[in-house]
Structures are given as structure tokens and as C-alpha cells.
Amino acid sequence: NLDTNTGSTITFSGGLSVSTLANVGFNAIGGGTVNVCDENPCTTGGAVVNTLNSTSASALNVTGTTIGAEGLTFRSISAGNATAAADPAAGILLNSTGSGGLTVTGIGTTAGSGGTIQNITNRGASFTSAQNITLKNMNFTLVGTVNGADPTVSSGSCGAMDTGGGGNLGCAAGIHLATVTGVTLDRLVMNNDSDPTAGVTSSGQQGINGNNVTTFALTNSQVLNFGNEAGEDGLHFRDIKGTSAITATTVSGSERDQVRVLNGSGTTVTLTVSGGSTFSTSAIPNGGMGIEFEGEGSAAMTIDVQTGTTFSGLRSIGLQALGKANVQMDVKVNASTFLNTGSAGIDIATKDSGDTRFNVTGNGMTNQAATAINIDIGGSPTGTQNATLQGNVSGNTISTTSGSGAIGISLDANGGQVGQGGVLTATVTGNDVTINGGANGIVAIVGDGSPTLNATIKNNTMHSASGGDMFLESSKISTDTSTACMEVSGNNVPNNTSDDVQLSQRFSSTFKMRGFPGGDIGVYFASQNTLNGGTVLFEGTFVNTAGGAACPQPTLP
């Protein structure tokens, strides 16, 4: 117990072993500087042997005390069953600790060798105004098992994270991070299933809860079964910043979203998802998305979902990226798998004056209840969206229920009201789309104001047992002054169903079709695409682009 050692530096070295029953194992509060290292004197390169084990209390509490340059280094930390008298609100608690850090190493890659934090009612580990946190080979079991502030009350301190909401600083969590720089979590197993033998019974609030976290890495880990009501997620972050990553990690069974990120003005983040990470399993009534990546204000955000990532068994959307206000957002999704989502596989939207660029390439998508890939601008937009959708496969020809229940690929430039614009520029090339029901393989629509849609749709294959394969339209309402520029060629519609293609130019909108020489638009369209005897329904007036020029092309991230 180190209490109010202002002006002093206290160093433990050469092997520290602390074991307690109902008292805090290592308690440093009220001032001074503390180090815990491996050798005497402190040097680098020694085997880590320091341990903390508190059977029925918190293991480590450092509050208002500086962690020195040597840091706090332990082989393992264990805590559990904390009683009210000896519980500083977490199994591990660091608050206002300066620039020094905490490292728990475990032994090599041995699971659980870094200790177990279990049966902690509030927070398994809590880090506030701290730096350089590394936890390896640790188990967090039944942590943050009671609710903090009510997450269903948007103005509460575990409520809505967007501007005007209460934020997330009052949430209970397995691991809580508030104003922390440098977080490395490796080979953690976090599980809040209260009875594994009886099936999943989630409890508590957030799995990992972060607010103003810079440089976060979660690797080779599992975050399982957190939350038991609306608003509770596996990873729940307001303002994650810097270069951050989720690698070779499974997040599953969370009550709402598996990962939810909301960034505000002035924040910049690049979040990379790789290494075969999996985001899965959310159910009625509160189940949500695999990853929800959202920005507001003037945030600058990039998400890069790399080869081998899987989204499956999600009640709503696999991956949603949403940019609002003046957000600048880049989205890359490559060679990933989307299975059995209750709504869309990928949904990317831009609102207001934000600008978004995205590249969705080579993904496999099976059993989307609604849409495989949905791209839209809306909410009275004035910004731009640049999209490339290439080589994605939705469904297959083996099963009539393997594709999308509504639309395969949807482009929607929605002005929101009279006089509102926004520009969506997209290329849709080399995709193979199967539709389960009577909907459309590819839909491109512009209207509801004065937005612009530039769409190059080439060399795609569409399978539809009934209904149409392409629906291309300019204008939604009578006051529209929207503009569509489309180049549509090389597409294959092998099923020869009725109404294979529908083209529509309505009201005061403009529909430019590159290469169209005038005359019968249906004949021209059939000459540019392989319809296998299918029909082209059309209404309105279509014009060629000026001088036959190509439609504008997107700028890639």
C-alpha cells in the first residue's frame, strides 16, 4: 500500500509476488512515482516474473500516482469476486498515471498465462488518462456484469455517442479506456457467457469501451457475448484515433453491434481489419451490425477491411460506413465474406457535405435478406461520393435462395429535397449477382432534388429467377432537376425473364446514355448488352453525352 508519497520514487525490482484474499494487491494512490520491473537494478532483457493475485479483490490500483520510466511490468495479474470494501471499481484500475505504462506479458503465447480477471461487477480493467497499456495472454470472464448508466436513455452517460447524446463514459465494460494513448491487447479471451454449458447468456454492457483512444491494437483475441439490452456492443468506441487495428480476432454474440465506432470533429483514424477476423451472431430483438463505422463533424476516417475477413449471422448489416456533416471517409473492403445478414452485406452512405471514397473488390456474399451492396447519398447532401465495385459475387446459381432477397447492387443518389445536390460517381464492373426474389440485380437511381449520378456499369452478370435484372432511372418526383450520366455495356442477363431491363427518364431530369445515337433506346441498349432475348422497357427521353465523352470516373482511395 503506497499512499501519498508525493516527491518520492519507489521501485520494486528483482521479482515481486503479491497474493491477497480480500484486499487490493498493489495499491498506489495520492502522489509520487512508482516502478515495477524485473531485475535489480532495473534493466531490460530479464524474464518477467512479477505477479499479482487477489482472490476476492482488485489486483492493481494506481490512481493519481505517476508510473515511472521503468513502467509496471508483470507476468500475470489475476483478480476476482471483488467486494465493495476493497473494490476500486475494477479488477485493474489506472487513473492519471503520467507517461509510464503497464505491461502484462504472460508466457510466450500460452493462453491465460497473463492471468484471469473474473466476476467483477463494474469493469474488468479501467484505464483513464493513461498511456502505453499492453495486456497479453489474459482471460476476462464475467466482467462488467452489471449495467452502468442505462444505454437505452440517449442523454445518459452510456447513451447515444453522437453530438447531443450522453456519450459512453458511464458504461460498464470488460475493458474501459478513456483518454488513453497506446493500447495493445494480444491473445485475450473475453467472455461474458454466464453458463457456457447452457448456451449463450450474455450479460453486462460493453466488451471493450473506448473514449478518446489513440493507437489501438486488438490481435489474436476473442470478445464474446457482451451486453443484454439495446445499445450494448462488443467494441464500443467514441473517437478512436491514430493508426489502429483489429487483427485475427473474433467478436461475436454481442447484444447489438459487434464493433461500433463513432468519431467526431477533429479526429483522424485509420482502422485496419485483417488476419481473418470474424464478426458474427447477433439476434432479435436488439441485434445489429458486424461493424458500424460512422463519422460526424469534420472527422477524417479510413477503414480497410482486408482479405479473409468474415461477417456472418448478423441481424442487420455486415459492414456499414456512414459519413455525416463534413466527414472525409475512405472505405476499402477486399476479398471478404458476408454470410446470412438480415439486411445488407455492405452499406455505405454519405450525408450532408461529407466526401466518401470507397473500393469494394472481390468479396463473396451469400444470403443477404435485402441488398448485397448498397451505396447512397442522402440527407440533403452537397458532398461527393466516389465508388468502385468490382469482381464481387453475390449468391450462386446452385441455390435459388443464396443471393439477395431484394437488390444485388444499389446506387442511390438522393438529393433529399428541392434544390439539394450531391454527386455519386461509381463504376460497377465484373460483378456476378444472383437475386432470390422478384427484384433487380443492379439498380441505379438519381432524384429527389438536383443530385448527379455518374455510373459506369460494365461486364456484370445478373441471375434472376423472376423480376428484372437492371433498373436505371433519373428523377423520383415531379420537381426533380437531377442528372444521370450512364455507360452501360457488356452486361450479361442469361435468365431471359420478363422485363429484364427498365430505363426511365422522368419529369425535368436529364438521362445521358453514353454512345446512344438517338432513335430506339431499347434497340441500342440490347446491342450493347447480352440480354438473351430479354426485353427492355423504357420511358422518357435519352440523350448522348456531349461528343460521346465518357461519364466521369471515381477517384479511388
Predicted confidence (pLDDT) per residue in 169-178, tens digit: 999 999 999 9
Distance CA 24, CA 79 (A): 9
Average the pLDDT over each of 69-78, 85-94, 129-138 and give the range with the smallest value. 85-94
Most confident of 213-227, 434-448, 533-547: 213-227
- What's 548's DSSP letter? G
Give pLDDT tens digits for 505-534.
Answer: 999 999 999 999 999 999 999 999 998 888
Task: In whole angstroms, give the CA distance from residue 275 to residue 292.
Answer: 19
pLDDT surpasses 60 at 85? no
d(CA 132, CA 153): 33
pLDDT reading at 4 higher than 90: yes
Of residues 181 and 465, more confidence is placed in 181
pLDDT per residue as tens digits for the range 273-310:
999 999 999 988 999 999 999 999 999 999 999 999 99
Query: What are the cell numbers at 80?
Result: 476476482
In the chain, pLDDT over 70 holds for what percent of residues? 94
pLDDT at res. 498: 56
H/E stretch holding 524: helix 521-528
DSSP H or E segment with residue 166: none
pLDDT at 360 (0 to 100): 98
- Given this model, what pLDDT does residue 545 score? 93
Pick from 224, 218, 183, 220: which is nearest to 204 by CA? Answer: 224
Statement: residue 443 has pLDDT above 90: yes
Q: How confident is the model at residue 447 (pLDDT cuts 50, 70, 90)?
A: very high
- Name the residue type at position 412: D
Q: How confident is the model at residue 346 (pLDDT cuts 50, 70, 90)?
A: very high
Cell numbers standing for residue 70:
521503468
Measured in residues, the chain has a length of 557
Query: Does residue 522 sit in helix, strand or coil?
Result: helix
pLDDT number for residue 200? 61
Residue 206 confidence (pLDDT): 96
Average pLDDT over residues 67-80: 95
pLDDT of residue 110 exceeding 90: yes
Where is mean pLDDT largest: 83-97, 395-409, 443-457, 484-498?
443-457
Is the pTM above the cut of 0.85? yes
427 has a pLDDT exceeding 70:
yes
In terms of pLDDT, which residue wins out, 468 or 346? 346
The answer to which of 3-12, 330-339, 499-508 has the lowest mean pLDDT is 499-508
pLDDT reported for residue 316: 95
> What tens digit of pLDDT does each residue of 467-488 get?
678 999 999 888 889 999 999 9
Residue 349 backbone dihedrals phi, psi, to 5 degrees: -135, 150
Conformational region of residue 465, where left means phi above 0, alpha means psi within -120 to 50, and beta covers everything else: alpha
Distance CA 91, CA 471 (A): 57
Q: Which residues contact 208 (CB under 8 A, 6 or more apart)?
A: 173, 174, 175, 177, 185, 190, 218, 223, 234, 235, 236, 237
Per-residue H/E/C for 44-83: CCCCCCCEEEECCCCCEEEECCEEEEEEEEECEEEEECCC
**Location of C-alpha cell 447512397:** 376
pLDDT at 158: 95
CA atoms of 276 and 306, how far apart (whole Å): 8
- Write down the mean pLDDT value for the chain: 92
pLDDT of res. 142 = 92
pLDDT the model gives residue 347: 97
